[in-house]
Amino acid sequence: MTTNVAEQHGVTSAGLEGQDVLRDLYADWAQIMATTPDLTMRLFRAIFDEWHQPTVEPEGVTYREDTIGGIPGIWCLPEGADKAKVLLYTHGGGFAVGSASSHRKLAAHVAKALGSVSFVLDYRRAPEFQHPAQVDDGVAAFDALVESGIDPQDITTIGDSAGGNLAIAIALARKEQGKQGPGQVIAFSPWLDMENKGETLVTNNDTDALITPELLEGMITGVLGGTVDPTSPLANPLHADFTGFPRLYVTAGSVESLLDNATRLEERAQAAGVDVTLSIGEGQQHVYPFLAGRSALVAEEFGKLAAWYRK
């Protein structure tokens, strides 16, 4: 069963042997950060632009740079995709690193699995631009897609890590503004807790190859700047009112330090009556869908995600 699913998503037996590549990349980054105390932001960003490396280039996808609502980004256009169904993808990286380039392959794999197109935003990053600049950019791109003729219900906000936070916050911001949509929200390993209090920061500290409370604290300082309340709902959706929120799909790895961000999100959403699905990848690291094209587990996950999306 797993082999068939994997083959459908282009996962080869050779690719299955490389499932540790994401953990190894994270461990390498952690080593660089630990031994380079004077790491500049430019080099920090250059390192995290390697995030695409564990992801196999998807076949049958073309890319196009564009600007939507004043925000630059990259279109991922799978062959035969429905161009009226758009995934608005916000990349992870603590609001400070990561880019459309580092995430285009992952966004393309998801778009291909769902039969849609994806636009990966190069939103403004911290610390040069603090909250809510990132949310504002996402809302601006969403508004522009609607103005171009895309039905809000046919737009899915999707993201990973800090981008998962933004995918949720964009939907919350539109609700605050009395606007419709998105039709659904997808969050891979969302980083939501700007108070940095999660239990799995402690319990999974020895199994997460990348994330530490200290790393998160620095990124919180960068995006909130000591002036934004860390419980503000658009910065920390764990404090948001999810009444009337769109249907929601959340993934997380069982060994990652941000696991309880996903489980607490599920609890809050369920309490508000939201149709929410949580999928936990056993033994998986932060944003394990980066193993797309290489992991049978990710191929299986994308199959479940596609069935959910098409419901």
Q: What 3-state DSSP class applies to 210? A: coil
pLDDT in tens, 102-122: 999 999 999 999 999 999 999
Q: What pLDDT, on the 0 to 100 scale, is given for residue 18?
A: 52
Q: What pLDDT, on the 0 to 100 scale, is given for residue 266?
A: 98
Q: Is residue 118 within 8 Å of 76, Cβ to Cβ? A: yes
252 contact partners, CB below 8 Å, separation of at least 6: 188, 189, 190, 258, 259, 261, 262, 263, 278, 280, 281
Per-residue pLDDT for 297 more than 90? yes
- Other C-beta atoms lying within 10 Å of the C-beta of residue 310: 8
Q: What is the mean pLDDT of residues 192-199?
A: 97
233 contact partners, CB below 8 Å, separation of at least 6: 172, 239, 240, 241
Q: Is the peptide bond before 233 cis (omega within 30 degrees of 0)?
A: no
Angle, vertex CA 114, rays to CA 109 and CA 118, nearest 5: 60
Q: What is the mean pLDDT of residues 272-286?
A: 98
Mean pLDDT of the chain, nearest integer: 94
Q: Is residue 120 within 8 Å of 74, Cβ to Cβ? A: yes
Per-residue pLDDT for 88 more than 70? yes
Q: Which residue has the tokens 């995006």?
A: 223
Q: What pLDDT, on the 0 to 100 scale, is given for residue 14?
A: 36
Per-residue pLDDT for 11 more than 70? no
Q: What 3-state DSSP class applies to 178? A: coil
**pTM of structure:** 0.94
CATH of the domain at 290: 3.40.50.1820
Per-residue pLDDT for 9 more than 60? no
Q: What is the mean pLDDT of residues 82-99?
A: 98
Q: What pLDDT, on the 0 to 100 scale, is given for residue 3?
A: 35
Structural domain of 187:
2-309
Q: What pLDDT, on the 0 to 100 scale, is given for residue 76?
A: 98
Q: Is the peptide bond before 182 cis (omega within 30 degrees of 0)?
A: yes
Q: What is the mean pLDDT of residues 233-249?
A: 98
57 falls in which pLDDT band (50, 70, 90)?
Answer: very high
Single-letter amino acid, residue 232: S
134 to 48, 87, 235: CA distances (angstroms) = 18, 17, 10
Number of domains in the chain: 1
Distance CA 266, CA 229 (A): 23
Q: What pLDDT, on the 0 to 100 scale, is given for residue 12?
A: 42
Q: What is the mean pLDDT of residues 19-28?
A: 93
Per-residue pLDDT for 13 more than 50? no
Distance CA 123, CA 88 (A): 12
273 to 46, 58, 131, 152, 156: CA distances (angstroms) = 41, 36, 28, 21, 19
Q: What pLDDT, on the 0 to 100 scale, is given for residue 181?
A: 87
